[in-house]
Chains A and B, each alone.
Chain A
Amino acid sequence: MGSGASTQHHFAFQNAEKAFKAAALIQRWYRRYMARLEMRRHCTWSIFQSIEYAGQQDQVKLHNFFSYLVDHFTPSSHNERDFLNRMFTEERSPRDSEMENCRDYESIEVLDSYTGPRLSFPLLPDHATALVEAFRVKQRLHARYVLNLLYEARKHLVQLPNINRVSTCYSEEITVCGDLHGQLDDLIFIFYKNGLPSPERAYVFNGDFVDRGKDSVEILMVLFAFMLVYPKEFHLNRGNHEDHMVNLRYGFTKEVMHKYKTHGKKILKLLQDVFCWLPLATLVDEKVLILHGGVSDMTDLEFLAKLDRHKIVSTMRCKTRKEHKKQAEKGKANQTSSAGRPSPWFLPQSRSPPTSPLRPSSQKAHRAGRSSSVPCRVPLDPNELSHWARHSMDLELERCRQQAGFPVIKEKEEPLPLASEADPEAEGGPEPTQEAWRQVVDILWSDPMAQAGCKANTVRGGGCYFGPNVTERLLQKYNLQFLIRSHECKPEGYEFCHGRKVLTIFSASNYYEVGSNRGAYVKLGPALTPHIVQFQANKATHTLTMRQRISRVGESALRALHEKLFAHSSDLLVEFKKHDKDKTGLITLSDWAAAVESVLHLGLPWRMLRPQLVSSLTDNKLEYKSWLKNLAKEQFSHENIQSSLLEALYRNRSNLETIFRIIDSDHSGFISLDEFRQTWKLFSSHMNIDVTDDCICDLARSIDFNKDGHIDINEFLEAFRLVEQSCSKGYASDC
C-alpha cells in the first residue's frame, strides 16, 4: 500500500519544511542586519550635516564676539586700538581703474624651467582641453597665466546680464552641475562621462566652485577657460562661496596663498572682483530658472535683472547708503529700541534681531536631515520678525554703528542724490542698496523647506527657508516650469521637492568622506525634462560593499563627533554631575543621552549612536569621568597645554582661524605673537574662558616654533590637529 512511500513523503515534506523555515530565518536575520546598517547610514549623515551647520552657526558667535568688543572693550593702548582697527576696517574694494592696472601680470616672467601648461589668448578649445589634462596629471598653472586668464574672464563676465538667458535651440542639450567645492576629480569625471563642453553640449555650473576641497584654483581655471572658449554655451552662476569673505573661513584663500606664495595676494584681489561679476542666475528657454541657493517670498526677478551685481562684493556685509540713515532718523518713532549693536563689516547680517544672552535654545527650527538646534538668535515669531527685520534692523544697526563713532568703512564720500529708496535706478553711490543686497543674499543662501511659508534661515545666518507655496507663486508669476538649485549636499547627489518643482543638484561626491554621498548632474533636453546622472568619483567605493562603505563613513563621522564631544568636556562634566546627585560617579545611559544633547545641541539620535560612543559600562551605567578622560586622550598631542585651554581652542577653532586670517591682512600666513596674544585674550574673556595671562604667553611662545616672534597660522592649527584632513596633504610651492 505504500506506507514506505508515505513515510518517504513525510520525510521529504519535513525536510522541505525545515529548509523553508531555515531560509525564512536567515532572511529574517539578514533583513534586520541591513535595517541596522540603513539606520547607521542615516545617523552618520545626520552627524555630518549637523556638524557642518553648527560650523555655520559659528558665524553668529563671531558676530557676537565683535559686538562684545564694540560694547565692552576699551583699547588701553595705541597698539590695542590699532589692532581693533585692523579687525574692523577693510581695504577698499578695487575700482575699475585699478583693474586696468592688473595687466601688470604681463611683467611676470615665466622661466624656461616651467613645465606646466602655457596659455595664449584668445584661447582655443585645444587650450582648454589641454588645461584639463594638465591638471589631471597634477601640474600647476603659472601665476602669470592665472592672472591673465582671470583678467580675460573678467572682461567677458562684465558683458553678461545678471540673469543669463539660454536657449535649447542652439545646443542640443544642456547639462547643469551643482556645487563642486574644489573637488577637481568630480569635474574631470563629469567631463569624462558626459563629454567636454562644445557648441552642441552646453553647460551651466551653478556656483560654489571653490572652498573646502583642495583644487579650487584648478577648477576655476578650467571653468573660466571653457567659458572663454565657448561663451555662448558655457555658463557660470555665482554661489555663496564665490565671495572673498567666505573664502577666508572655508579654505580657498588658504589654498591660493599656499599654491602661489609670491603672487597669491594679487590673484586674490583680482578674484574678489571677478566673483562679483559672475551672473546671478541662468534662465533656460524662459522656463527653467537655475540659481545657487533658492528664492524668498520677496524675490523679484525684474529687480534682480536690473541691479548692479558688481556692487555686491560680498554677501557677508552690506554697506548701506547714507540716506538710509536719514530715513532711519525720520522713522525713529516707529522703531522699537532694540539693543541694536554695531555690526562689523565682514559678518553676515542675520535677519533676526539681536537678543541678549547667548543661550542656544532647544527649539527646533528646521530639520530636514540637519541639526535641529538653533543658534543664539532665535526669532520669537519668525514670519513677523523677518518682515520687521527686513526694514528696520539694518537701518538700526547702521545708525548705531554711526553713532558709536565707530571706525567703520569709509569710502570716498560722494554727494548722494536725494532719490528715495524705491528708485533702484539712481545708484550713484559705490554701495548697493539695501534691497539689492537682500535680493542677492536670498537667491544665494536660501534653502527649500517642506512647510509652507518663508522664514529666516537661522542655521545659515542669511537667506531664508522657502516653502512650496513660495515656489509655486514665483513659478506662476514668471511663467516658469521649475527651479534648479544647489547649495545643499544630498546623499544621492540630487533631490526633488515641492512637488518636483524644485530640483537640488549637487556635484561634489564623497563630500563629507569617501563613500558619504553620490554626486549628480542633470541634463535638459528640448522638452526640458530633467534627466539625472549620478556618479561617485572614487573607484574604491565601487568595490566596497554597502557594509564597508557605511562603516568607513561612519568612522569618519564618529571621529568628528568625538572631537566635538571633547571640545565640550567641561560643560559635559557639569551636566553629568547634575544627573549624579549621589556622587556615585555613574550615570544611566538615558541621562548620558539627555546631558549630551543639552550641551551639544546637535539634535542627533544619541541613543542610536550610543553603542559607538560609549563602550564600557558598569552595571549598565557609565563611569563618566573616565569616559571624558578617554576622549581627551584621543585628541591631543601636547601634554603640557592646560586641557581646558585646549578644549576652548578646539571649540572655537573655526572662528579663531577666521579671525587670524582677517588680522593677517596681507595674507602672509603669519601673525605676530602680540596679535595672537591680544586676539586670544579678547576672545577668551568674551567666551568666559578662564585663562591666565601667563598661560596665554606660554601658549603663544610654544607655538612660535622658530622663535622669530611670528606664528604661522597653519602650523598653529596643525599643532593642535585642528587642520582639516584635506590640507594635511600639503601643497607644493608656487611657480
Chain B
Amino acid sequence: MADDRSREGTETAVAEFHKKIKEAFEVFDHESNNTVDVREIGTIIRSLGCCPSEGELHDLIAEVEEEEPTGYIRFEKFLPVMTEVLLERRYRPIPEDILLRAFEVLDPAKRGFLSKEELIKYMTEEGEPFSQEEMEEMLSAAVDPESNSIHFKDYITMMVIDEN
C-alpha cells in the first residue's frame, strides 16, 4: 500500500517536473521545433532551480547532445535527463549563509568588504573564471562607487531580495 502511494507521489512529481521542463524549454525554442540552441541550455537548467558549476554543466550537455553535436539540443533527449536531475535534487542552490562564508574566506582580514581589484582578481583568475562581460555586470551592481569596494553582506541581501 505504502509502495503504491509513494509511486503515485513520484508519478505526480514526475508529471509536474515534465510540465516545468517543457515550459522552460519552450521559452527558448524559437523555431517551435522542439530544439534549443546549446548555448541556452545553461540558462534553462539554472532557471529550473539547479545551480551547477560550469564543469557540471558541460557534463550535462554532453549527456543531452547528439552523437554528432549539431549545436542544438532536442527536447526528447533533454527531458529524461533533466527529470532525473530534478528527481535526484542535484545541483542544489547555494544557501545564503554558505555564500556569505565564501566571501569571508576571500576576506581573511575580516574587514567586511572586498576591494574592487580584489574581487576582479578572484573572479577572473580563480575558480571557473568570469568573462569580461560577466565581470563588468557583476561590478555594476556590487561596487559601492564611493568606496570602490564590495560590502558583500549587503550585496548578498540585496540580490536575495531581488530574486524574490
Binding site for B on A (CB under 8 A): 15, 18-36, 38-39, 42-43, 46, 364, 366-369, 450-451, 545-547, 551, 590, 593, 605-608, 611
Q: A26 is contacted by which of B23, B31, B127 (Cβ under 8 Å)?
A: B127
Smallest CB-CB separation from A15: which chain B residue? B108
Nearest chain A CB to B123 CB, angstrom units:
6
Q: With A19-B105, A608-B24 known to touch, is A29 a contact of B30 (CB < 8 Å)?
A: no
Comparing B1-9, B50-58, B60-68, B78-86, the segment that makes contact with chain A is B50-58
Extra 9 A-B pairs, beta carbons < 8 Å, given A20-B127, A551-B162? A19-B105, A22-B102, A26-B106, A28-B128, A33-B159, A33-B163, A546-B137, A606-B23, A608-B47
Instruction: Decide if A369 touches B30 in the complex (CB within 8 Å).
Output: yes
Instruction: Decide if A26 touches B123 in the complex (CB within 8 Å).
Output: yes
Instruction: Decide if A25 touches B98 in the complex (CB within 8 Å).
Output: yes
Q: B31 is contacted by which of A46, A368, A607 (Cβ under 8 Å)?
A: A368
Q: With A33-B163, A608-B24 known to touch, is A450 a contact of B31 (CB < 8 Å)?
A: yes
Instruction: Decide if A39 touches B127 in the complex (CB within 8 Å).
Output: no
Within 8 A of A (CB), among B135-164: 137-138, 140-141, 159, 162-164
Instruction: Decide if B46 touches A32 in the complex (CB within 8 Å).
Output: yes
Q: Is B43's beta carbon under 8 Å from chain A? A: yes
Separation of A29 and B33 alpha carbons in the complex (Å): 31
Nearest chain A CB to B130 CB, angstrom units:
6
Nearest chain B CB to A386 CB, angstrom units:
19
Q: Is B113's beta carbon under 8 Å from chain A? A: no
Separation of A456 and B112 alpha carbons in the complex (Å): 62
Report how many A-B pairs have Cβ atoms within 8 Å.
Answer: 130
Instruction: Decide if B126 touches A23 in the complex (CB within 8 Å).
Output: yes
Question: 6 closest pairs, A vs B, by CB?
Answer: A24-B127, A23-B127, A35-B46, A23-B126, A450-B31, A39-B47
Separation of A25 and B16 alpha carbons in the complex (Å): 29
Instruction: Decide if A39 touches B24 in the complex (CB within 8 Å).
Output: yes
| Chain B residues positioned under 8 Å from A25 (CB to CB) | 94, 98-99, 102, 127
Instruction: Decide if B122 touches A607 in the complex (CB within 8 Å).
Output: no
Between-chain CB contacts (< 8 Å), 25 pairs: A19-B106, A19-B126, A21-B127, A22-B101, A24-B126, A27-B54, A27-B128, A28-B51, A28-B52, A28-B94, A31-B42, A31-B46, A35-B45, A36-B47, A36-B163, A42-B27, A367-B32, A450-B30, A450-B31, A546-B140, A551-B162, A605-B24, A606-B23, A608-B27, A608-B47
Q: With A26-B123, A545-B137, A590-B16 known to touch, is A38 a contact of B43 (CB < 8 Å)?
A: yes
Binding site for A on B (CB under 8 A): 16, 19-20, 23-24, 26-33, 42-47, 50-54, 93-94, 98-99, 101-103, 105-106, 108, 122-123, 126-130, 134, 137-138, 140-141, 159, 162-164
Q: Say what secondary structure dominates the interface of chain A.
A: helix
Instruction: Decide if B42 touches A26 in the complex (CB within 8 Å).
Output: no
Nearest chain B CB to A398 CB, angstrom units:
35
Instruction: Decide if B141 touches A545 in the complex (CB within 8 Å).
Output: yes
Instruction: Decide if A29 touches B51 in the complex (CB within 8 Å).
Output: yes
Smallest CB-CB separation from B108: which chain A residue? A15
Q: With A19-B105, A23-B126 known to touch, is A547 a contact of B47 (CB < 8 Å)?
A: no
Separation of A33 and B94 alpha carbons in the complex (Å): 11
| Chain B residues positioned under 8 Å from A608 (CB to CB) | 23-24, 27, 47
Nearest chain A CB to B76 CB, angstrom units:
18
Nearest chain A CB to B160 CB, angstrom units:
9
Q: B123 is contacted by which of A23, A36, A38, A368 (Cβ under 8 Å)?
A: A23
| Chain B residues positioned under 8 Å from A38 (CB to CB) | 43, 47
Nearest chain B CB to A469 CB, angstrom units:
15
Instruction: Decide if B32 touches A20 in the complex (CB within 8 Å).
Output: no
| Chain A residues positioned under 8 Å from B30 (CB to CB) | 368-369, 450
Nearest chain A CB to B37 CB, angstrom units:
13
Smallest CB-CB separation from A45: which chain B residue? B27
Nearest chain B CB to A138 CB, angstrom units:
33
Q: With A24-B128, A31-B46, A34-B134 known to touch, is A46 a contact of B51 (CB < 8 Å)?
A: no
Q: A450 is contacted by which of B24, B33, B45 (Cβ under 8 Å)?
A: B33
Most-contacted residue by chain A among B52, B106, B126, B141 (CB, 10 A): B126
Instruction: Decide if B19 touches A590 in the complex (CB within 8 Å).
Output: yes
Nearest chain A CB to B32 CB, angstrom units:
5
Most-contacted residue by chain B among A29, A368, A450, A606 (CB, 10 A): A29
Instruction: Decide if A39 touches B33 in the complex (CB within 8 Å).
Output: no
Nearest chain B CB to A643 CB, angstrom units:
31
Separation of A21 and B16 alpha carbons in the complex (Å): 34
Nearest chain B CB to A510 CB, angstrom units:
20
Smallest CB-CB separation from A368: which chain B residue? B30
Instruction: Decide if B123 touches A27 in the complex (CB within 8 Å).
Output: yes
Nearest chain B CB to A616 CB, angstrom units:
13
Instruction: Decide if A26 touches B47 in the complex (CB within 8 Å).
Output: no
Instruction: Decide if A366 touches B32 in the complex (CB within 8 Å).
Output: yes
Q: With A22-B106, A35-B46, A590-B16 known to touch, is A607 a contact of B127 (CB < 8 Å)?
A: no
Q: A605 is contacted by which of B27, B99, B162, B163 (Cβ under 8 Å)?
A: B27
Q: With A18-B105, A25-B102, A26-B123 known to touch, is A450 a contact of B42 (CB < 8 Å)?
A: no
Smallest CB-CB separation from B23: which chain A residue? A605
Q: With A364-B32, A547-B162 known to touch, is A26 a contact of B46 (CB < 8 Å)?
A: no
